[in-house]
């Protein structure tokens, strides 16, 4: 389950199964170009039909099926009747979603969560043909993935990505996909809101729509009245797990960036950062800073000698806009930066505590990867056996969707059995101390764990809370 905002009253439901380097901004010439948006001339024209739009867009919309094997452990109670430990069993887990053909040689855009962990992916085109697919690029932070099928010399129908960023509240839109696995379905609505964000760690600035989006629609296109893709349907807010008229789509600008990166041969998107931690403003905070309204994003922390710091941004400044686009929360700011490339220069309008507004040019760069990641899986007779750990740097934190300002140290990224699993260690835990020694690097940690000991005292930080564990092995 994915949370877009803590202020939502209902649980956020991903639109899931019905059954259960650097990139440029320019769109490649071999991708179909979007048409200029034209709105209906009058109410009578609006009442005619969406059929021409559907005829243009629907042939490029596909169903995406993914399958993976899941190992499950028999309940310990039942294992008593099976001669000891429970026998792991395997079952096939399936996921259903949708996607869009964005290039005629079989390039398909969908959601990351549709194909996450898949061992087999099958794409079904509108004419009911099935195609095996491979993953060109999977981008969990943006919840996007790019697939490839092989149509040979055949040119498949495509949908253009309209990344012009001129979507407006009230625009008519269509959502096309395969809800509940019933077959391709079209629903209509309007753009209900823009720049819906999921907090300081998110990079999407979602388009909100009341067009019905249901399980199985994930990865399908949100289409404008020219039949162009302006968003990728990805999530809903619902108390029952089905459409309640509050759906969300990832904007086309972010989708185009991911597709362009995949077409360039890269397997991950390298995104820049500003080198600051943003915070939303309350009314009282805005008043104390000399602002008439709680607008902009407070620079709560600024990375020393980072891009913002070098440009003159200081802690306590308020970022009002980026390249002329107003920003009102950290998620919106992160999204605007994430759609750019390292090396780009952006203009920030910054409100200084004294009341002065200044325009500062910030040259974006990739987050630093120091200290080096040094990923290792702990072995040996010690309480962290089975845990994979890394040195946390801004680059590693950004890739994992964590706060780069959480502090340096050794982070657990996965737990694969061993003593660590018995201890209850979890991905995201920081190993802060071992037997009274402060831990700074993976090398230091593995050295300490290699030293025999009769017992172990671990200090672990989890979600800002400190846990002390004493272990005998």
Q: What is the pLDDT of residues 96-138, one digit of tens each?
A: 899 999 999 999 999 999 999 888 999 999 999 999 999 999 9
- What is the rounded average pLDDT of the residues 253-267? 94
As a whole number, mean pLDDT of residues 440-450 equals 92
Predicted confidence at residue 409, as pLDDT, reads 86
Which of 219, 233, 158, 238 is CA-nearest to residue 191? 233
Asked whether residue 251 carries a pLDDT value surpassing 70, the answer given is yes
Q: Which two tokens stand for residue 438?
A: 């402060």
Domain ranges of the chain: 1-267, 276-363, 376-471
Average confidence (pLDDT) over 196-208: 73
- What is the structure's pLDDT at 47? 59
Of the chain, the percentage scoring pLDDT greater than 90 comes to 55
Question: pLDDT tens digits for 446-467?
Answer: 999 998 888 899 999 998 889 9
Q: Using an 8 Å Cβ cutoff, are 251 and 196 in contact? A: no
Sign of torsion, CA 261 264 267 268?
negative
Distance CA 30, CA 24 (A): 15
Angle between helices 252-263 and 330-338 (to 10 degrees): 30
pLDDT at residue number 4:
44
Instruction: Determine the topology of domain 276-363 in CATH.
Output: Pdz3 Domain (2.30.42)
Sequence-ordered list of residues with C-beta below 8 angstroms from that of 263, at least 6 positions apart, any chain: 28, 31, 103, 107
Higher pLDDT, 95 or 59: 59
Lowest mean pLDDT among 72-76, 95-99, 189-193, 436-440: 72-76
pLDDT at residue 90 greater than cutoff 60: no
- pLDDT at position 10, please? 34
pLDDT of residue 5: 41
Classify residue 387 as exposed, middle or buried by CB count within 10 Å of its CB (0-12, 13-18, 19+).
buried
The helix or strand, by DSSP H or E, that contains position 471, with its residue range, turns out to be strand 465-471
CATH 3.30.230.10 fits 376-471, yes or no: no
d(CA 210, CA 49): 18
Q: What is the pLDDT of residue 407?
A: 73
Q: What per-residue string of b and e applies to 216-246 under the rule 16 or more CB within 10 Å gives b?
A: bbbbbbbbbbbbbbbbbbbbbbbeeeebbeb
The answer to whether domain 1-267 and domain 276-363 are alike in fold is: no
Compute CA distances 3 → 20, 46, 194, whole Å. Answer: 19, 35, 17
Average pLDDT, the chain: 84
Question: 418-450 in b/e burial notation, b at 16+ Cβ within 10 A?
Answer: bbbeebebeeebbbbbbeeeebebbeebbebbe
User: Span 1-267: which CATH code?
Assistant: 2.40.10.120
Q: Give the integer Cα–Cα distance in Å for 392 and 221.
A: 36
Lowest mean pLDDT among 13-22, 43-52, 337-346, 456-465: 13-22
Mean pLDDT of 332-352: 92
**Which of 53-57, 89-93, 230-234, 242-246 bottoms out in mean pLDDT, i.e. has the lowest?**
89-93
> Span 417-437, mean pLDDT?
90
More confident residue, 164 or 186: 186
Q: Is the pLDDT of residue 37 over 50?
A: yes
The pLDDT, as a whole number, for residue 14 is 42
Three-class SS string for 401-456?
CCCHHHCCCEEEEEECCHHHHHHCCCCCCEEEEECCEECCCHHHHHHHHCCCCCCE
Highest mean pLDDT among 224-228, 241-245, 283-287: 224-228
Q: Identify the weakest region by mean pLDDT among 92-96, 126-130, 310-314, 383-387.
A: 92-96
Looking at residues 296-305, what average pLDDT do you find? 93
Alpha-carbon distance of 27 to 7, in angstroms, equals 36
- Residue whose C-alpha is closest to residue 340's, from 249, 260, 223, 394: 260
Kindly list the catalytic residues.
Answer: 113, 143, 218
Of 134-138, 357-361, 365-369, the one with minimum mean pLDDT is 365-369
Say what the alpha-carbon torsion angle 408, 307, 357, 194 is, to the nearest 10 degrees: -80
* pLDDT on residue 182: 85
């Amino acid at each position: 389950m994915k949370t877009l905002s803590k202020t939502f009253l209902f649980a956020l439901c991903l639109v899931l199964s019905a059954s259960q380097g650097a990139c440029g901004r320019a769109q490649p010439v071999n991708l179909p170009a979007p048409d200029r948006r034209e709105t209906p001339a009058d109410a009578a024209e609006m009442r005619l039909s969406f059929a021409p739009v559907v005829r243009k867009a629907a042939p490029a919309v596909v169903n995406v099926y993914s399958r993976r094997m899941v190992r499950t452990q028999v309940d310990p109670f039942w294992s008593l009747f099976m001669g000891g430990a429970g026998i792991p069993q395997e079952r096939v887990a399936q996921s259903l979603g949708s996607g869009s053909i964005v290039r005629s040689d079989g390039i398909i855009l969908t959601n990351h969560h549709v194909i996450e962990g898949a061992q087999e992916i099958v794409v079904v085109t509108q004419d009911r043909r099935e195609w095996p697919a491979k993953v060109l690029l999977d981008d969990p932070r943006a919840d996007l993935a790019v697939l490839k099928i092989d149509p040979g010399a055949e040119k498949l129908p495509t949908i253009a990505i309209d990344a012009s960023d001129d979507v407006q509240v009230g625009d008519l839109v269509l959502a096309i996909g395969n809800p509940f696995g019933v077959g391709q379905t079209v629903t209509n609505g309007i753009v209900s809101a823009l720049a819906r964000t999921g907090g300081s760690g998110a990079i999407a600035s979602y388009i909100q729509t009341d067009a019905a989006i249901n399980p199985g629609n994930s990865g399908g296109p949100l289409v404008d009245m020219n039949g162009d893709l302006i968003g990728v349907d990805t999530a809903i807010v619902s108390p029952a797990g089905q459409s309640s008229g509050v759906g969300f789509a990832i904007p086309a600008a972010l989708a185009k960036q991911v597709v362009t990166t995949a077409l360039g041969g890269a397997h991950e998107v390298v995104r820049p950062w500003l080198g600051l931690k943003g915070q939303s403003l309350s009314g009282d905070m805005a008043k104390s800073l000399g602002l008439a309204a709680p607008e902009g994003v407070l620079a709560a922390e600024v990375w020393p000698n980072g891009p913002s710091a070098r440009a003159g941004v200081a802690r306590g400044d308020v970022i009002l806009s980026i390249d002329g686009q107003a920003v009102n929360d950290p998620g919106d700011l992160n999204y605007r930066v994430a759609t750019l490339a390292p090396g780009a220069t952006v203009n920030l309008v910054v409100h200084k505590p004294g009341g002065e507004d200044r325009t500062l040019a910030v040259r974006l760069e990739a987050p630093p990867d120091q200290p080096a990641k040094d990923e290792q899986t702990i072995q040996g007779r010690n309480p962290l056996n089975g845990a994979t750990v890394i040195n946390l740097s801004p680059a590693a934190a950004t890739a994992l969707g964590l706060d780069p300002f959480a502090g340096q140290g050794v982070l657990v990224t996965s737990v694969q059995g061993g003593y660590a699993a018995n201890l209850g260690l979890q991905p995201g835990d920081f190993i802060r101390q071992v037997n009274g020694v402060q831990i700074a690097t993976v090398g230091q940690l593995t050295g300490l764990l290699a030293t025999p000991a009769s017992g172990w005292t671990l200090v672990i930080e989890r979600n800002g809370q400190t846990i002390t564990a004493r272990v005998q092995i």
